[in-house]
A and B are shown apart, each in its own frame.
Chain A
Amino acid sequence: MNTLMKQKKVDNKTSVKTDKKEIKHTKSEAAMDKNVFEVNNLNLWYGNDQALYEINMNVPQNKVTAIIGPSGCGKSTYLKTLNRMVEMVPIVKTSGSIKYNGEDIFSDKHSVEGLRTKVGMVFQKPNPFPKSIYDNIAYGPRIHGVKKKAVLDQIVEKSLRDAAIWDEVKDRLNENAFGLSGGQQQRICIARALAIEPDVILMDEPTSALDPISTLKVEELVQELKKKYSIIIVTHNMQQAARISDKTAFFLNGELIEFAETDKLFSNPSDKRTEDYISGRFG
């Protein structure tokens, strides 16, 4: 009897262990598929003009999501909705829901500032502040109350390293950021966004003002950044979307036409309009 019971206990232990393992496995899979944004039935109007129609799109975590589409298709509007920057236009109205890490971004419980701290943004034209390289990066952390020089030094170095520009500027941190090339300025802006430790980086055509080599540097950087951050990039350069993104969304006239794995979308899209657009046979 005793032996039997012992045996049973052992069996139970084994089975519990197995279960734990399975749970762990499922958890890690879930983490891999986690969405940083869940957008449901999003509509957006500028006054009476509707700019986005019933957008349903989940943005995956730690991936690069590209948004492509012709001018005026709503891709930048969509991007700016994710950190509520679009609300800076006073006549904007929205309906539908956007959840960031499961929480409604429009809820009164959360501040816009809090959201924008977690969801940083890099713009089309490099827009460093007319300050030293160091102060550009330290600006955000200082606003958030970081005062100690040693901590700021650490943040500045880490951010510049993460933005793959540390080696180019480490000996001239006190020089004005305007003295840098366009490509370097853009990476400074990326470093500035990283300094406040965001989760998500929104990029609105970040390389459209850069030369091809600077563009490739930023593209390489994006590939590195996705290990730590989720990236959403609006680009007019379809080859860029094809090169750097994991998933691609095609917008047209305010509608999300197709959202698929980039490999699939550029090799065998499901929608004829996507095919026409990516193969340059539009209009």
Chain B
Amino acid sequence: MATREHFSEELENLKADIRELAEDVKQALVIAIDALHNRDVEKAKQIIEDDHLIDEKEEVINEKVMILIAKQQPVATDLRRLIIAIKITNDLERMADHAKNISKATIHLGEDHPISIHPGIREMAEVAFDMVDTAQNAFMLEDISFAHKLSEMDDIIDEKYGKMIRELLELTANNPDQIQYLMQMAYSARYIERFADHITNIGEEIFFLVKGRTYDLNE
């Protein structure tokens, strides 16, 4: 009989929990971006209301990790698995907060605002969705090649973000009456950019898990 089957099973369950949380967070961003495009204030409000469910899942995962550390006294890779579980969960929770922030922007903009949603928002969001999937693969397979990809994808987002901000600045110069709306657009872009940074952090955490040392993918 293999040793520590029970502990291994608990680790797998924890992984499944984190994966589920990542799916929830991705969905929150998908809905937040749709709501922004569709001027759907009700949906945006729903995202904000549902955020506490994600916070609760984070708490449950942290509690499980704490119990496993106390009871199983893990070392080496097992210990790193549990440490990064807490860190990844924390990143996911912050990512959900950014989906919530985008929803707040949607509410600020309202249903009748005069501007069209900048196409950069959708483009950045699409890359961010891919990043969540890639991070999930990296996490489930404990494979750092995916973690490296995350760094490249984050660069794409940063580039799109820079371009979009420059264009928005030009728009504000020519349409000073629309500044309040254009600002909400810039904020939303910023939230997606921050969302992606957290996914890059997850890549770094997986690197730490596999290699046992820290690595800055943002460098």
Which residues does A use to contact B, with CB under 8 Å?
238-239, 242, 266-269, 275, 278-283
Contacts and interface: CB of A to CB of B under 8 A. Distances in A.
B74 interface: yes
Interface in B181-219: 212-213
B141 interface: no
A279 B76 contact: yes
B2 A281 contact: yes
A268 B76 contact: yes
B84 to A, nearest CB: 13
B2 A266 contact: no
B116 interface: no
B3 A275 contact: no
Nearest to A274: B76
A219 to B, nearest CB: 15
B73 interface: yes
13 contacts: A239-B73, A266-B75, A267-B76, A267-B80, A267-B212, A268-B213, A269-B76, A278-B75, A278-B76, A280-B3, A281-B2, A282-B3, A283-B3
B181 to A, nearest CB: 51
A266 B212 CA distance: 11
Given A267-B212, A268-B212, A268-B213, A238 B75 contact: yes
B24 interface: no
A266 B76 CA distance: 5
A149 B76 CA distance: 53
Nearest to B211: A268
B2 A242 contact: no
Contacts of B78: 279
Interface residues of B, number: 15
Contacts, number: 33
A60 B212 CA distance: 26
Contacts of B74: 279
B76 A280 contact: no
Contacts of B80: 267
Shortest 7 CB-CB contacts between residues of A and residues of B: A268-B212, A280-B4, A266-B75, A279-B78, A278-B75, A275-B76, A280-B3
B77 interface: yes
B174 to A, nearest CB: 56
Contacts of A282: 3
A242 B75 contact: yes
A238 B75 CA distance: 10
A267 B79 contact: yes
A238 B79 CA distance: 14
B2 A279 contact: no
A275 B212 CA distance: 12
A113 B4 CA distance: 45
A39 to B, nearest CB: 26
B35 to A, nearest CB: 45
Interface string B72-101: 011111111000000000000000000000
Nearest to A275: B76
Given A267-B75, A268-B213, A275-B76, 8 more contacts: A242-B75, A267-B76, A267-B80, A268-B76, A268-B212, A269-B76, A279-B4, A279-B76
Interface string B3-29: 110011000000000000000000000
A260 to B, nearest CB: 12
A268 B77 CA distance: 7
Nearest to A268: B212
